[in-house]
A and B are shown apart, each in its own frame.
Chain A
C-alpha cells in the first residue's frame, strides 16, 4: 500500500517533468535498485536532493518575503561581528579538539577490556550524556563546579583558589561533557571493525602495544577522526544557551546568540539573514574541510569471533584501562546526581499522571521524526554509496555535504522562516505537531546519515560485487542489506528518536497551545520558579530516553553477555 503511494507520487512528479510512464516494478527499482536506468536514477537523485534542500530554501525564502527582508551587508565591517565570529570559532575548535583528544584514549580502553556487561552499560550511558538537556548540563555543572559546588569546595581545600567555572573553562567543560561520550562511541565502533586477522598477525609478529597501536589501530581510527572532529565542531559552533550561561558575559557571544537577538528581539530580518549566511558559509565550509579526508577502510563488521580475546589488554595495562573507565564513568555520572532531589519536588508540584499527555506527545513526535529521518538518510545514502562504489569520492562528498546542510542552518532562522512560509497555507494550530515531526525528521537526518553511512558503505564493500554478480532481484538484495545492517538501523533509529524527543526550539514556535511535550514542560517549570521540579522532570525524560535506547541498542556483545550468564 505505502509502496503504491510513494511510487504513484514519484510517477506523478516524473510525468510532470515529461518522463514516460513507468510501471510499479520499474518505479520501485528506481527507488531502491542499484541498477536502474541512469536517466531515471539521476532524476531520482535530483528530486531527492531538491526535497532535502526544500525546508532550508523555504525558510530563507519565507524570511525574505517578510516586510523589510533583504541582506544587511554593511554589518560585515562591524568589529562586533568579527569578534563574535572569532570567539565562536575559538570555542568550537577548542571543544572539538579536546573532545576528540579525550575520547580517543577512553575508546581505546573500552576496546581493550573484556567486561561485556560493563561495556554495554557504559556505551549506553554515553548516549544519554550526548542527549542531556541544557538544564541538566547547566544545573549539574553549577551544582558540582559552581562557586559553592561540591567539587569546588575540594578545589579550595587543595589550594586551587583561582578556580572559576564561568568563562571559556565552563563552556569547554559543558561541551566535553556532551560530546566526549559521543566521540568515544564512534571511535570504539571504529576499533571494533579491526579484522581479527590483523590482530593475529600482530600477535605472531610480537608487536609491542605501541607499535600495534601505531601500525594497526591508529590508521583505522584516523579514518573517522576528521568526521568526528567536524561533527562536534558544528555542534559546538551552534551551541547557544550553554555558551551564554557558562560563558560569563558578553565576551562569550556566539553567532547563534546574535541571530537570536536579531530575529527575536530586534526583528531585524536583514541582519538575521546576513548572520545566517555567515554561519552557513563558515560552519559549512569548515565542516566540508574537516570531513574531506573521510576514508572507508577495508574492515570487518562488529561481530563476536572466537579470536576476540586477542583484542584485550592483559596485565597492568588491562588494570589501568579498567580504572580509567571506572573514573570516566564516575565523572560523567556526577552531573546527573544533582537531578535526584528534584524528583520529590516534581511529585510535589505535579503528579506522574499529569505527565502522561506530554509523554505521549514526546514519544509520538520522537517516533515520527525518527522514522522520517532514518528513511531520508537511507534514501540520501543510495546515490552516495553508488558514487563511492564507482570511485567518485568527490561527488560522494558533495552529496554528503548537501544532505548534511541542515546542520549549519541556524535553528531559529529555519523555524521562523518556515513559519512565515507556511503561514496562510495550513492551519498551524491544527497541524503544528505534524510540522514539528517533519521538520525534526529533516533536521536530524544528518545525524542518522552519519551513523548509517559507515555500516552501509562497509556492506557495499564486502557484498556489492557478489550481489551484482548474482543478479539478485532488488527485493532480495534489499533483504540481504537489511539483515546485514539491521542492528545499525535499529541503533540509529533509537538515537535519532531520543534526539527528537529533546526538541524545544521547534516546539516553541509550532507547538499548538494546550499541548506540552516533556522538554517544554521542563522549561516551563524552570521558568516559573520551580527549578527543582524541572530537574525532576528532566530526570524522568532521561529515564524514558534510556529505556528507548535500551530497546533499540542491539549490541552483539550484550547479546553474547546475556548468553554467557
Chain B
C-alpha cells in the first residue's frame, strides 16, 4: 500500500490533464490561450452562450498550428484552427486543410475590407517601429528615413518570427528592386536580429536601441498595464504591413455546425471586446468599447502592394536578406 501511494503521488501530475471529449476542439497558439491571453475568457463566454464544452489545444505559435494540421492530416482532432495569419492562409488552402464557412461577415469593419469564404478574421494590427518618446523626441516618419538614418534598430529574424517576416514584406514593398541595398544600409546601424519577438523587445526596454519592430498596438499595453505613455509607434509615410489573424474550420472537422457557430461568436461584440486588451490587437468590428489607450494609437494605412504578391516571393526575399543584411 505504501508503495502504491508513493507511485500514485509520482504519477498523479501526469494524469492531471485527463482529457475529456469536448463539443468543439480549437487549435490555437500558446499566448492566445495563456493565463493572460483571450483564450480562457473566450472559453467562458462562449460556453455560457452555447451551453456546451469547448477545448483549446495550444501549440507554440501560428506556424505550428498549420504544421500540426499538416502532420495530423485526416486524424486531426481540430475543428477550428485559430491564429493563422495572411501569410499562412495560402498554404492552408492549397493543402486543403481548411473548409469554407457560412459565417456572415457583413459586420466586419470597413477598414479591413475582408471577404473570404474560408477564413474569418478575429483581430488585426500593423507592424510598426516602437520608440521611446522621452529619449527620441523626433522620430523618423518613413521607412526610407529610418533606413537612411543612423538610429539603432532591433528587429526579429524573418526566418523564425512573424514580425520579422512582416518587415521582410515591408522592405520589399517599399524598395522592391533595391531591397538588397536597403538591407545592407539598415544593417550598418541595426543592433541585432533576434529569434523571437520578446528578445528584441526586452533589449529595447533595456535601452539597447532607439527603435524596435513590434505592433502599432504595443503602446496600448504600456499605457493600460504600466501606466506609461512614453512608448509610441512611429507612423510611416509609405504605409505599414498589416497582420490579420484568422480562424478557419478544419477540413476534417465533422462538427461544422458548432464550428460555424463559434466563428460567428468570434466576431460578435462579446468576443471582440475581450480580444483587444488580452491579445493587444485591434478589433475587427466597429463600435467596440475600448480603453482610452486605444484612441491614442496611430492609425496607419496599409502599403500599396497587395500582401498576396509579396507572400509568393517569401523565399527569394529571405535569400536576398540573408546575403545583404550583414
Contacts and interface: CB of A to CB of B under 8 A. Distances in A.
Contact of A250 (B19, B77, B193): B193
Contacts of B218: 529
Contact of A249 (B13, B36, B55, B190): B190
B225 A529 contact: yes
B17 A429 contact: yes
A462 to B, nearest CB: 35
B209 interface: yes
A146 B203 contact: yes
A432 to B, nearest CB: 8
A77 interface: no
A364 B13 contact: yes
Given A261-B160, A531-B198, A531-B202, A513 B192 contact: no
Interface string A231-266: 000000000110011111111010001001100111
B56 interface: yes
Given A146-B203, A249-B325, A241 B208 contact: no
Contacts of B160: 244, 257, 260-261, 264-265
Interface in A145-189: 146-149, 166, 170
A248 B192 contact: yes
A434 B197 contact: no
A240 B57 contact: no
B167 to A, nearest CB: 13
B206 to A, nearest CB: 5
Nearest to B222: A529
A146 to B, nearest CB: 4
Nearest to B214: A529
A529 B221 contact: yes
Interface string B239-257: 0000000000000000000
B100 interface: no
B142 interface: no
A320 to B, nearest CB: 35
Contacts of A260: 159-160
B33 A142 contact: no
A531 B192 contact: no
Contacts of A534: 198
Interface in B177-195: 187, 190-195
B322 A253 contact: yes
A275 B227 CA distance: 47
A530 B321 CA distance: 30
Contacts of A419: 71
A251 B13 contact: no
B301 interface: no
Contact of A424 (B55, B75, B225): B75
Contacts of A526: 198, 202
Contact of A429 (B19, B33, B203): B19
A339 to B, nearest CB: 12
B13 A514 contact: no
B317 to A, nearest CB: 13
Contacts, number: 168
A209 interface: no
Contacts of B193: 244, 247-250
Contacts of B192: 166, 170, 245-249
A527 B58 contact: no
A430 B19 contact: yes
Contacts of A432: 17
Contacts of A142: 202-203, 206, 208
Q: Determine chain A's interface SS by DSSP, over half rule.
A: helix
B34 interface: yes
B202 A354 contact: no
B196 interface: yes
B228 to A, nearest CB: 12
A240 B207 CA distance: 24
B94 interface: no
B137 to A, nearest CB: 17
Size category of the B interface is 35 or more
A143 interface: yes
A138 B191 contact: no
Nearest to B221: A529
A528 B14 contact: no
B208 A147 contact: yes
B5 interface: no
Given A166-B191, A527-B31, A531-B201, A433 B71 contact: no
Interface in A434-485: 434, 437
Contact of B13 (A241, A246, A360, A509): A360
B65 to A, nearest CB: 12
Nearest to B187: A249
A139 interface: yes
Interface string B292-326: 00000000000000000000000100010111011
Contacts of B17: 429-430, 432-433, 512-515
A524 interface: yes
B159 A241 contact: no
A66 B71 contact: yes
Contacts of A515: 16-17
B64 interface: yes
A330 interface: no
A247 B194 CA distance: 8
Given A142-B206, A364-B13, A429-B19, A250 B198 contact: no
Given A524-B30, A531-B201, A264 B207 contact: no
A376 B294 CA distance: 56
Given A249-B187, A264-B63, A423-B71, A512 B201 contact: no
Interface string B36-64: 11000000000000000001111110011
Contacts of A253: 322
B207 A528 contact: no
Contact of B55 (A248, A431, A513, A529): A513
Contacts of B196: 241, 527
B199 A241 contact: yes
A213 interface: no
A153 B16 CA distance: 50
Contacts of A149: 206
Contacts of B159: 257, 260-261, 265
Contact of B19 (A267, A357, A427, A529): A427
B36 A264 contact: no
Given A147-B152, A147-B191, A244-B195, 20 more contacts: A1-B3, A80-B319, A80-B322, A146-B206, A241-B195, A244-B199, A245-B192, A249-B187, A253-B322, A261-B159, A265-B63, A266-B315, A432-B17, A433-B14, A512-B19, A513-B56, A513-B58, A524-B34, A527-B197, A529-B225
Q: Return the 10 tightest CB-CB contacts between A and B, nearest first.
A: A148-B207, A251-B326, A526-B198, A261-B159, A364-B13, A166-B192, A244-B195, A531-B202, A146-B208, A250-B322
10 contacts: A245-B199, A245-B203, A248-B192, A257-B160, A354-B35, A420-B71, A508-B60, A527-B198, A531-B205, A534-B198
Interface of A: 1, 66, 80, 138-139, 142-143, 146-149, 166, 170, 240-241, 244-251, 253, 257, 260-261, 264-267, 349-350, 354, 357, 360-361, 364, 367-368, 416, 419-420, 423-424, 427, 429-434, 437, 508-509, 512-515, 520, 523-524, 526-531, 534
Interface of B: 3, 10, 13-14, 16-19, 30-31, 33-37, 55-60, 63-64, 66-67, 70-72, 75, 77, 152, 157, 159-160, 187, 190-199, 201-203, 205-209, 218, 221-222, 225, 280, 315, 319, 321-323, 325-326
